[in-house]
Amino acid sequence: MPVMTIERIEVQRTIQADPAAIFAILRDPQGHVAIDSSGMLQSADGEPVSAVGDSFVVHMDRESLNDVPELGRYDVTVTISAYQPDREIAWTILGKIRPQIGHVYGYRLEPTADGTLVTSYYDWSQIHPHWREAAIFPVISQAALRATLGILARTVARA
């Protein structure tokens, strides 16, 4: 069941693949670009992550959302905040804006008889007060998270 609180969204989907195959996509910067449903992630630089604190750069284009047209193209650094191989990966986004926002994206993987139950989550409960007052969250919708899970299922099936 989808979960949405005032400060967190979770969606789930069973994907017919083992957790290791899914996790391989989620730890790879290129995997992030490949499964993004928002259209914001254009490309990435860096190696697949393997621990908390690892990072890579994603080249973004906010025009796809058309919510902040003047933002245009920009880079962010994805920094891993949770890493448990084949079970969970989460990250924060560091960009040029100040103060930093503090939102978290992540995935939990649970093996099932039919493959892997994948939970995608987006949490903005710890964002900086400046951004809370701006009332811009969530930036990514529950529908977009669900669409990303569909793209993830398609991507892992092709791998």
pLDDT, tens only, 125-159: 887 677 667 666 777 889 999 999 999 999 999 97
Describe the crossing of helices 19-26 and 142-158 by its angle, rounded to 10 degrees.
110
Q: How many domains does the chain have?
A: 1
Domain around 22:
3-158
Domain with residue 17: its CATH number is 3.30.530.20
In this structure, how many other beta carbons lie within 10 angstroms of the beta carbon of residue 72? 10
Query: Model pTM?
Result: 0.89
CA-to-CA distance for 26 and 15, rounded, in angstroms?
14
pLDDT, tens only, 69-114: 667 788 999 999 999 999 999 999 887 776 667 789 999 999 999 9
